[in-house]
A and B are shown apart, each in its own frame.
Chain A
Amino acid sequence: MGVIIAFLPLAWVGYGLENAIDPIKSLYSVSGMSAIILLLLSLLPSTCKRLCGYNLLRYRRPLGLLAFCYALLHILVFIILDAEGDIAFVVRESLKKPFVFIGMSAFLILLGMAFTSTKRLFKRFAKYHQAVYGAVILAVTHAFWAQKVAGIFEYMLVFSAIIFLSERLIFRMKNL
């Protein structure tokens, strides 16, 4: 059920693409926004467990993987549609432009986490999955920067990221 809801944005953009005024831009926006919302939601289960005792941890992996799927789609829009398959251009832009660089870095973190998310590999790599906090900071910065002028959505992202990250910080300081 959750997976179906998570794929709704994709269906919506696919349906509207035929008549989209600026198709590449709408694909960028929908994939990027979905990825970042899902990424932030993947931080919810453990916070929820600590604060209200509900165990939603079983949703953490699918949420993270869905976030990765949308991030992958976002990157593919960049490589295939925007850069028209010019890999040298993609590499150059990623290294030259801080805005692209931080987005790409966030994606590489998610890529590594997606690869090591199987039961067997997760045991070995679980501690590296803390890199998700880096990915969240990079992705929120990227989203904030993407706008001509940051609006209510971007401020909400920053606000939720601060809540989730500071809750973890406080929890760790308490348990030192």
Chain B
Amino acid sequence: MQSFTIESQFKITGIGSASGLIYMKDYLFIISDNSSFLYKYSIQEKELNKIPIMENPQGNIAKKEILEVDDLISLFGLEERIYRFRCVEGWSMVVPWIGFPLSKLVDYLQPNSKAKYVKFTTRYDPSMFPDQSKGIFASIKYPYVEGLRMDEAMNPLSFIAVGMYGKRLLPQNGAPIRLVVPWKYGFKSIKSIDNIEFVEEEPKNTWQVQNPKEYGFYANVNPSVDHPRWTQAKERVLGKFGKQNTLSFNGYEKEVGHLYAGMDLRKFF
């Protein structure tokens, strides 16, 4: 048997890997791995067009995969991160999470240059989540949705947890996988994720939809921007009686402050 090496002649932005190629009249037709699109590339104009081949194609992603938690663990390994956690309602705690950086997962999924935001969706299964089965009496609209800007998602602090305190996540903590964004209020750290999409527009996150006056998309921990009903300057540490000062970006300003340079954080709360 002889082995071949095919050197790539050019790179097509937006295509990570391909399992099929057809050349026809100056066009390359590409069947991308696990994607729900047929790609049509004009060699002369260097233009990529997508032709959906499924009913609900998921855009901007090279690998559309259904992964089990154990696949994720074997792909990305595990590490422990001890993070401060600050709820928008004023309590805080320190949590030892187990998981892997979100950036590893994003790199693996290979979103294209059109991907500006990551959209996360919690599993919708009323038989599993009691509040979802209440219909119109449910406390919020389901499924729960959260999002991050691409650069936020790629920041080394953004984390996907599969465990905490040395054990697998319990259902109430967001099993099997959840997001942890330590410089944002807790509601950004979406639980029980079962779908990750890369989108061009800022996703409408659940609490912003529920009450846009009180909750925004960014939700960065900020002691100098009050919630309309209470101060964010201090926090109640769970299990303690007294209060402590809340830190800018929950104490991670050095690591993430630059992501928001020049932004009016009163407007983008």
Contact = CB atoms under 8 A, between A and B. Distances in A.
A99 B241 contact: no
A84 B140 CA distance: 33
B230 A149 contact: no
Given A93-B231, A97-B228, A149 B210 contact: yes
Contacts of B228: 97-99
Nearest to A151: B139
A98 B213 CA distance: 13
B91 interface: yes
A23 B229 contact: no
Contacts of B226: 97
Given A84-B243, A151-B139, A22 B229 contact: no
Nearest to A92: B231
B210 A22 contact: no
Contacts of B230: 93, 97, 99
A158 to B, nearest CB: 15
A131 interface: no
B89 interface: yes
The A interface is mostly helix, strand or loop, or mixed, namely helix
A81 B239 CA distance: 14
Contacts of A151: 139
B21 interface: no
A98 B210 CA distance: 19
B139 A149 contact: yes
Contacts of A24: 236, 241, 243
A23 B241 contact: yes
A97 B229 contact: yes
Nearest to A81: B241
B243 A21 contact: no
A162 B238 CA distance: 37
B227 to A, nearest CB: 9
Contacts of B240: 23
Interface size class of B (residues with CB under 8 A): 10 to 19
A100 B240 CA distance: 24
Contact of B229 (A21, A81, A82, A99): A99
A151 B140 CA distance: 11
Interface string A23-41: 1110000000000000000
A128 interface: no
Interface in A73-117: 81-82, 84, 89, 93, 97-100
B236 A22 contact: yes
B229 A25 contact: no
A7 interface: no
B229 A145 contact: yes
Contacts of B90: 25
B89 A148 contact: yes
Contacts of A84: 242-243
A21 B238 contact: yes
A63 to B, nearest CB: 29
Interface string B138-159: 0110000000000000000000
Nearest to B131: A149
A148 B236 CA distance: 17
A149 B140 contact: yes
Contacts of A22: 91, 236, 238
Nearest to B214: A148
Contacts of A93: 230-231
A64 B80 CA distance: 54
A46 B236 CA distance: 42
Nearest to B91: A22
A86 to B, nearest CB: 10
Nearest to A99: B229
Interface in A135-160: 145-146, 148-149, 151
Interface of B: 89-91, 139-140, 210, 226, 228-231, 236, 238-243
Interface of A: 21-25, 81-82, 84, 89, 93, 97-100, 145-146, 148-149, 151
6 contacts: A22-B238, A24-B236, A25-B91, A89-B231, A97-B229, A145-B229
Given A24-B241, A99-B228, 11 more contacts: A21-B238, A21-B239, A22-B236, A23-B241, A24-B236, A25-B90, A25-B236, A97-B226, A97-B230, A98-B228, A149-B140
